[in-house]
Amino acid sequence: MTQGLYDQQTRNAATNALIDLGDEAIPLVQRIVDDWRKPDVVKAAAWNVIGQIATIDALDLMISRLSMVWGDDRRNVLRALVKVPDDRGIEATLDRLGRKGIEALIDQELMLMGQTTAGIVDMTKGQKYSDKVDMLRRALQNIQDDSLERLFLLMQFLYDPYTIQAAAFNLQSGNLVTMAQGLEILDNQLDIPNKRAVLTLLDRNPELDKQIKQLQIQLRQARQKHNSAQESNLLNQLDKIAKQQQADLTKQLQSLSNILTYEPLPPQDRLCQLLDLRHFFSDWLMACCFYLASEARWNLTRHHVLGGIRSAKGFVREAALLYLRDVYPQAFENVVPKLRNDPDRLVRAQVKEILDIWGVNNARRAMFPENDDDDDMNTAALGPMR
């Protein structure tokens, strides 16, 4: 039945069948949610099953995982808990963790937002606009948006869920007046220690984001038409908006001073720190870090590169390969043949194309036979790196 969760056409039927099993299904789906290599959509379906089983054992499993999982997994657990009928999921979580425990989870999300804000500030401050920098900035903003969703879910454990949902709806409207109403609702409701930090992080200017999106569309059109004069003008406008955002971001970091001490870092050092924290961030952010490091020819450590090559996501492995190709060609040559049997189709195709272009001789191919399924590359495989 768990195999049915992997296919969209059979997912609903498999979900219902597993729910009917009750507690007997918990060990089956627990193996899925505890395996970091499983697809996100399958893990989300498994958490949904556990939430709908909603027995004491199911609730205990979800609550025990709250402080252990991050990102999408934590969001899925929180969603499942708040959906349990008659607020049983909320009450069980409060009984186990207490108000202090929920506030600690809120502080973790605030700290995560602080790290992403510091990343945006240091990666864009004094930097000319580029596609790769903007791609990383948007990835960091997406993480902030995800963190805000978890923040609102956590608030539902402490305050009336309908009031919190109304505030979230208003703040997501994009209308300045409606967003102000959402902030007012939270200002009247919240009594957590870091209330001011939450309100400051939520006090955003949607107009700047709209301007950036419009300018980016115009920039792509100008590049397609090879209009260098218009491209230069649009890049200058994007740089000006980035400077305006710096002030707002600095204010946000100041509001988080009780949770996170911000120290400015050079862009390369900040990017390395983001890679150090990769387990708390999205896989896409990790890929964006490799793309920017490749473009800027920044040195990364073996630890960072191996983390990318061993990622469960093919697009991260692909980005790490491109980084090696551009910055460490010798290490790239050592690693590429090991990925000929990569489970991701796109990575396999890229590796095959590379090997065909290079015309790797038979003697070298013999070093890596077709049945070689050793995915455990050691550090030495990367060759000379720092």
pLDDT tens by residue, the chain, 386 residues: 889 999 989 999 999 999 999 999 999 999 999 998 888 999 999 999 999 999 999 999 999 999 899 999 999 999 999 999 999 999 999 999 999 999 999 999 999 999 999 999 999 887 777 889 989 999 999 999 999 999 999 999 999 999 999 999 999 988 889 999 999 999 999 999 999 999 999 998 888 888 888 888 898 898 888 898 898 898 888 888 887 888 888 889 999 998 999 999 999 999 999 999 998 999 999 999 999 999 999 999 989 998 998 888 889 988 998 999 899 988 888 888 877 787 777 778 877 877 776 654 433 444 344 444 434 444 444 544 55
251 and 272, same domain (yes or no): no
40 and 172, same domain (yes or no): no
Comparing C-alpha atoms, which of 384, 271, 267, 269 is closest to residue 328?
Answer: 384
CA distance 74 to 318: 27
State how far the alpha carbon of 356 is from the alpha carbons of 138, 214, 336, 359, in Å.
35, 41, 12, 5
CA distance between the termini of the chain: 47
What the block records as the tokens of 231 is 């491209």
368 and 321, same domain (yes or no): yes
35 and 118, same domain (yes or no): no
| Boundary (domain end) residue, out of 48, 83, 118 | 83
Cβ atoms of 111 and 260 closer than 8 Å: yes
114 and 251, same domain (yes or no): yes
Residue 31 located in a structural domain: yes
241 and 102, same domain (yes or no): yes
Q: How many domains does the chain have?
A: 3
Residue 261 located in a structural domain: no
Q: Fill in the amino acid letter for 233.
A: N
149 and 15, same domain (yes or no): no
Residue 238 located in a structural domain: yes
State how far the alpha carbon of 63 is from the alpha carbons of 108, 111, 320, 359, in Å.
16, 21, 35, 54
165 and 103, same domain (yes or no): yes
158 and 248, same domain (yes or no): yes
48 and 194, same domain (yes or no): no
What the block records as the tokens of 358 is 């290079």
Comparing C-alpha atoms, which of 114, 283, 294 is closest to residue 122?
Answer: 114
Residue 278 located in a structural domain: yes
Which residue's structure tokens are 């038409």?
225
CA distance 62 to 276: 27
Residue 91 located in a structural domain: no
What is residue 5's DSSP assignment?
Answer: G
pTM (two decimals) = 0.84
| Boundary (domain end) residue, out of 18, 53, 83 | 83
Residue 89 located in a structural domain: no
Q: Fill in the amino acid letter for 376.
A: D
| Boundary (domain end) residue, out of 19, 49, 83 | 83
234 and 196, same domain (yes or no): yes
Domain residue limits at 78: 2-83
223 and 132, same domain (yes or no): yes
Q: Fill in the amino acid letter for 347.
A: V
Residue 90 located in a structural domain: no
Q: Which residues of 353-367 are buried (b: 16+ CB within 10 A; e: fewer)?
A: ebbeeeebeeeeeee
Residue 92 located in a structural domain: no
